[in-house]
Structure formats: structure tokens, C-alpha cells
Amino acid sequence: MSNDAPVPSSLDAIQPRDKAEILAQALPYIRKFHGKTLVIKYGGNAMTDPALQQDFAEDVVLLKLVGMNPIVVHGGGPQIDAALAKIGKKGTFVQGMRVTDPETMDVVEWVLAGEVQQDIVGLINAVGGKAVGLTGRDGAMIRARQMRLADKDDPSKTHDVGQVGEIVSIDPSVVKALQDDAFIPVISPIGFGEKNESYNINADLVASKLAEVLKAEKLLLLTNIRGVLDKAGNLLTDLTARQIDELVADGTISGGMLPKIAGALDAAKSGVNAVHIVDGRVPHAMLLEILTDQAYGTMIRSH
């Protein structure tokens, strides 16, 4: 199905024969991934469009019901921007990274761990799941330290961007305990430091590191792009870690795609069997990527 093809608004629009075909095609994948852990980074349009939010919640619950273990890590950049604008706070950026002073960090915490996380928990629970919201503080999950941002022109210089964190370690025991008990963990990317200070951490990074630590079967990154494209703009649906290195070296992958790919590549090289960069603008793209032969993004295999 091309991205331009009309997508049925519900299963009612699909003929019984086609429905049976879809279900039959899903069976080998359900069998293959039963009992396996899937870490899902939830962001982009999938997170702000109400119809896509509903699709996402249904997909997560279905994956849990057929015996997989989905874990959701969410972002929330646009929501943080909106909340800061409401209190009249202008964002300061260094090399595209938000400087997070203590007041901004307070806003980040209540937006991510409050509003955004609880919206996602509510959506999943409304369609029959049992979601539980966590931050990196819960169960001492994500220990972090201040990230020093290297200057893009002079790597020997660094910039202080405030309470932006890098991960020191992840203890996944609270996530494992919830998974084993039929719950779906929903994690806000906030860590804590040695002096109990909070840190805002890139959600792609948290999802990638969590997938590594849990030795997840799959890491899925929902984005606002079709996936990794070649120089002619064609979608590359299946890549190895080595091919990704080559695409970075020759400049095919550059700009905003680099940090997303860096985390994905680390995960693929560290024991996660497959990393999927999925077009979150396509209804039920995540489910289609996992349970059918059709590609709705780029899969990066560990080898």
C-alpha cells in the first residue's frame, strides 16, 4: 500500500477475504515475537493527531494481548514549548539544544511526567490496556549527569545547557516487574543526578538505551518521516549496521537524522535484534511494520 492509498477508517471497510488474509499473515509474526520485549519511542504526528493517538493506543494494547511486551518511551517537545509560552518564558537555544534552567526544568517535569504521560496512560487504558506511568526517578531507573555540549566549531570548548542530561546507567527492574504483571510501562525521559537534581534527557536516547539494557527484540522509533532515504529520495527498507555507517560516511544520512540514527545504531550493535524507524503519520504503521511483510519505514538489523 503506498502512502497515498486511502486507508480504511475501520476494519468494517475491509472485505472478509482480505481480513482473513491479513490475520493469516500476522500469525507467524505473533508466534515469533511472543514473550519478546518491544521498546517504542512515541513522538511526532502520531502523538499530536487525535486519530493517530487512538491508533497508537489500540496497537500497543493489541501487541500486549497477543503476548508481546511493549514499553513506551515518549517525547513532548511541542507540548513543552506551548507550556513555556503560556508562562511567558522565551526558550534559549545553543546549537539547537534547549538551555534548561531550573524554572524550565520544573515546566519540563510537569508537562512530561504530568500532562503528556497521563494522556498516554489514559488513551491506552481507555482501549482496554493497563498502562502505568513512570519517570526515570521511579525505581531509581535512570541515573544521569549533566551533559556538556561540545562546540561545533571548536570541540575543545563545551557549552553549559543546564539540566540536560546524559545517561549514566539504567536499572530496568521496575519495568521488568510491571511487564511480568501484565502492565504496559509508559516512561517519561527524566533522569536524576547524584544530588537528587532532575535532568531532561533526549527520548530517542532513553528508548535506545532501555532497549539495549533489556536486550529487547525490537526498538521502534515513531517519526514524522518515511524512514531512511537514499540520495534519490527512495525509502531504504532494510539496512545492516554496517550499511548505516557507510550512509553516514558518504553524507546520505545527515542533519536531524543523525542523532536518531546514532541511538538506533548503538542499540542494533548492542544486542537489539532490529531497530525500526517507522512513519508515524501512517495509521497503524507500527502494527503493520511488526505483523506484516509490508515495510512502513526502515529496519536496521544488528548484522
242 is in an annotated binding site: no
Q: Return d(Cα 270, Cα 275) in angstroms, integer.
A: 11
Q: Return d(Cα 271, Cα 273) in angstroms, integer.
A: 6
75 is in an annotated binding site: no
255 is in an annotated binding site: no
Q: Return d(Cα 146, Cα 65) in angstroms, integer.
A: 39
251 is in an annotated binding site: no
Centre a 10 Å sphere on the Cβ of residue 67 and count the other Cβ atoms it contains.
12
Binding site members: 76-77, 98, 200
Binding site members for substrate: 76-77, 98, 200
